[in-house]
Amino acid sequence: MQIVKVGLLGLGTVGGGTATVLLDNAEEIARRTGRKIVVDMAATLDPGRTRELGLTQTRVTTNAQEVVSDKACQIVIELIGGYEPARTLVLQAVANGKHIVTANKALIATHGQEIFEAAQKKGVIVAYEAAVAGGIPIIKAIREGLSANRIQWVAGIINGTGNFILTEMRDKGRSFDDALKEAQALGYAEADPAFDVEGTDAAHKLTILAAISFGIPLQFEACYTEGISKVQQEDVAHAEELGYRIKHLGVARRTDNGIEMRVHPTLIPEKRLIANVNGVMNAVLVMAEAAGPTLYYGAGAGAKPTASAVVADIIDVIRKLNMASSLANRIPISGFQGDGVSDIPVLPMAEIETSYYLRMLAADRAGVMADVTAILGESGISIEAMIQKDPADERQAKIIMLTHRVKEQQMNQAIKEIEALGSISGEVTRIRMEPLA
């Protein structure tokens, strides 16, 4: 049986998981590929890690450049994460004629276009299934399984940390801070959780999903990003009372005017399947023209789920090499042929239209609601539902409203005018809503 030698960059959580899956499932993998996969070389700052993982025959180095330049390694697996030195190492590996497998969503979202173009010129493959939603094969589903469809929109819970926090707030009545501390204690959140709770991680993943769904260039900087740190427990409870769940959602939608690409807290009708995805689990809902809605659910992170996607990519690369096909006959890296990628504009958030949940504290006296509704009416905003709660201060009333769909810029102006009223205390809380139907 022929041997395929691979080089690993990084033996951390995902790198270690990848090595374990390759070793534990070696016989099954060989049955699927007709080839034996050998981790011939690994770069790690902890050389003893190879012994822990049972990589007794693997050459080990602390210099990643040695792996990308090694003549024996046919496939380089980049699992160090981040922007640099990952970008430099991957481009060097491509220049050296190596095929690439990566789980690095930040790298693909920000430098993917440059890497894909270099790979196309060099005739090598770049595989990145593990970059989005861990063990869920969402890249392959969109790029291959739904390739006969015009994708209309994609909506996903694609960060497990944020989903865990919102689930704890709903199920156990925790505050955001308490739920975050629990996530950190359980190892779901880092000491500095901003990357997850402020939406950057989800925005990286959504950028990739938008590119392969709509055939547009990767453009992370165009993705509107808003985190969940301002979501209050009372908003979670009010949403539940109104028949909704708050989820940190990534939404990419094709419209007549361009592409929407946004990550933010979102009210979803509780009857939707995706609204019932809880804890650290991920889910992606895809609306396709012919297939209709399809939902993909599973573990979005962790050593073995992510390693499953990494190894599946390695197998995919080997299968394509077995076919000895030219690059033109392979599945394009972005899912679209080079001349099929369109520079459709990504809409600014101000131009995007959604419904809204609004919460405000108003003086409990006659005429206040008339002032608020007058501002909404003048801004072209109609109210779908409204409830009033009595807070501890009897001189004030808590008002919760659901609106019909309206452009963000109209809502921004209306909120500004409402907050300027002397009868309104503090800021108006605004959370967007999506029917996902």
- Alpha helices by DSSP H, 323-387: 368-378
pLDDT of residue 336: 72
Q: How far apart are CA 430 and CA 349, in angstroms?
A: 14
Residue 121 catalytic?
no
> Could you tell me which residues are beta bridge partners of residue 153?
253, 287
Under DSSP, the state recorded for 136 is S
CATH dotted code for 353-433: 3.30.70.260
> Could you tell me which residues are beta bridge partners of residue 297?
283
Beta strand segments in 220-369, E: 224-225, 244-254, 259-269, 281-288, 292-299, 353-363
10-residue mean pLDDT series, the chain (437 residues)? 93 94 93 92 93 93 96 96 96 97 97 95 94 94 95 97 97 96 92 95 98 96 97 96 97 97 98 96 97 95 92 92 58 67 90 97 88 95 90 81 97 97 94 94
Sign (positive or negative) of CA dihedral 301, 305, 307, 311 = negative
At the top level of CATH, the class of 145-299 is alpha beta
Under DSSP, the state recorded for 346 is B
Helix (H) or strand (E) holding 339: none
Q: Cβ distance 282 to 299 under 8 Å?
A: yes
Question: Which entry of 205, 230, 247, 304 is annotated as an active-site residue?
Answer: 205
pLDDT of residue 324: 56
| In this structure, CATH architecture of domain 3-135+303-340 | 3-Layer(aba) Sandwich (3.40)
Q: Cβ distance 319 to 33 under 8 Å?
A: yes
Least Cα distance to 353 among 286, 280, 255 occurs for 255
Q: How far apart are CA 126 and CA 304, in angstroms?
A: 21
Q: How far apart are CA 237 and CA 167, in angstroms?
A: 11
Q: Cβ distance 163 to 199 under 8 Å?
A: no
Task: List the chain domain ranges.
Answer: 3-135+303-340, 145-299, 353-433
